[in-house]
């Protein structure tokens, strides 16, 4: 699917109260860096890793309708937008395995009016009073897409139905359940591992780190995303606010179009969850600290 359906674990409840576990835990970023690494998929070999995972999750596992294995005989899922996209891999350090992938579709420098995936499938239903398309700075606009976690990183059974593995109130820094059966994932006592699980909210944050890195590198100021409204609410628990720009549409299943401003997103995260801001923006190394 082209829109990025998201299901995240929530560092705050849906009522909007900050989870003190994140706010008080000093090793939040250290835990991320211990278990995960964001790797740009900047070579043909790495891009194949992205396409293989997309095929596995979309086509073989069938978590998104409309992606049939017989249409991808080479075991790779890709489309016409991949040529103008930047891809990233999320690697799980202890197992040296691919935990996830995400792409950001870039503007066409030679043809700025070229549509983004969300525009192609849903611009007919965009709210005219919210998003006049002609006013968007096309060369500073991108779209977050193909945001996926491998099945063993998608958490509990209720999360596994989503490609990005988020159900409410799920917290896993590394693969659940089976992690205790693998010596490669043993990092200490059960109490230590449980403490780490409570501290790090979800591998999905690693993919958001990749999105921020790509946005800064390519000077993007606005991002489209197609997600279910419940996922947009869960994103807001991180302080990530997107503006709805369409009703719910059938886009490989029900989802809604959203638009986000990087400066506004940065400011909201900084005010509501500074540790998440430090992780995503590398403690102002990638983006100025909001004032």
> Cα(154)–Cα(174) distance, rounded to whole angstroms?
9
What's CA 243's distance to the chain center, in Å?
17
**What is the per-residue pLDDT across 139-194, written as a single tens digit (0 to 9) for each?**
999 999 999 999 988 864 444 444 554 444 433 333 333 333 333 334 444 554 44
Compute φ and ψ for 40, nearest 5 degrees. -60, 135
Rounded to the nearest 10 degrees, how much is the dihedral formed by the CA atoms of 12, 16, 20, 21?
Answer: 0
* The pLDDT of residue 31: 86
> Cα(160)–Cα(166) distance, rounded to whole angstroms?
8
> Cα(274)–Cα(23) distance, rounded to whole angstroms?
8
Please give the domain boundaries of the chain with CATH numbers for all domains: 20-281 (3.40.630.30)
Compute φ and ψ for 125, nearest 5 degrees. -110, 5
Please tell me the chain's helix, strand, coil percentages from 3-state DSSP, rounded to the nearest 5: 40, 20, 40
> Cα(149)–Cα(203) distance, rounded to whole angstroms?
8
> Cα(124)–Cα(121) distance, rounded to whole angstroms?
8
**What is the per-residue pLDDT across 214-234, written as a single tens digit (0 to 9) for each?**
999 999 999 999 988 888 887
Asked whether 165 and 207 are in contact (CB, 8 A), the reply is no
DSSP 143-160: EEEEEEE-GGGS-STTTT
> Cα(164)–Cα(150) distance, rounded to whole angstroms?
8
Lookup: tokens for 91: 């690697």
Residues in the chain with pLDDT < 50?
1-26, 156-162, 165-189, 192-199
> Cα(131)–Cα(129) distance, rounded to whole angstroms?
6
Q: What is the mean pLDDT of the chain?
A: 79
Lookup: tokens for 34: 């211990």
* The pLDDT of residue 186: 42
Lookup: tokens for 195: 């403490």
E strand or H helix at 206 = helix 204-217
pTM for this entry? 0.79
Asked whether 109 and 100 are in contact (CB, 8 A), the reply is no
């Amino acid at each position: 699917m082209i829109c990025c359906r998201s299901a995240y674990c929530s560092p705050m409840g849906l009522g909007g109260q900050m989870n003190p576990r994140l706010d008080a835990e000093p090793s939040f970023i250290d835990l991320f860096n211990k278990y995960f690494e964001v790797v740009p998929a900047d070579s043909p070999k790495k891009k194949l890793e992205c396409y293989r995972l997309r095929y596995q999750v979309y086509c073989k596992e069938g978590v998104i309708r409309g992606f049939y294995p017989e249409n991808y005989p080479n075991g790779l899922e890709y489309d016409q937008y991949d040529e103008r996209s930047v891809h990233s891999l999320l690697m799980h350090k202890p197992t040296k395995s691919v935990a996830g992938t995400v792409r950001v579709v870039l503007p066409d420098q030679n043809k700025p009016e070229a549509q983004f995936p969300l525009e192609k499938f849903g611009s007919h239903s965009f709210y005219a009073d919210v998003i006049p398309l002609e006013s968007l700075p096309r060369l500073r606009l991108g779209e977050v897409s193909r945001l996926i976690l491998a099945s063993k990183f998608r958490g509990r059974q209720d999360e596994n139905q989503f490609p990005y593995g988020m159900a409410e109130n799920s917290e896993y820094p590394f693969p659940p359940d089976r992690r205790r059966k693998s010596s490669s994932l043993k990092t200490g006592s059960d109490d230590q591992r449980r403490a780490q699980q409570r501290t790090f909210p979800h591998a999905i944050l690693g993919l958001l780190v990749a999105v921020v890195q790509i946005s800064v590198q390519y000077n993007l100021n606005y991002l489209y995303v197609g997600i279910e409204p419940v996922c947009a609410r869960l994103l807001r628990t991180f302080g990530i606010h997107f503006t709805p720009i369409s009703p719910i549409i059938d886009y490989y299943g029900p989802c809604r179009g959203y638009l986000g401003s990087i400066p506004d997103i940065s400011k909201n995260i900084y005010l509501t969850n500074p540790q998440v801001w430090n992780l995503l923006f590398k403690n102002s190394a990638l983006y100025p600290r909001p004032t």
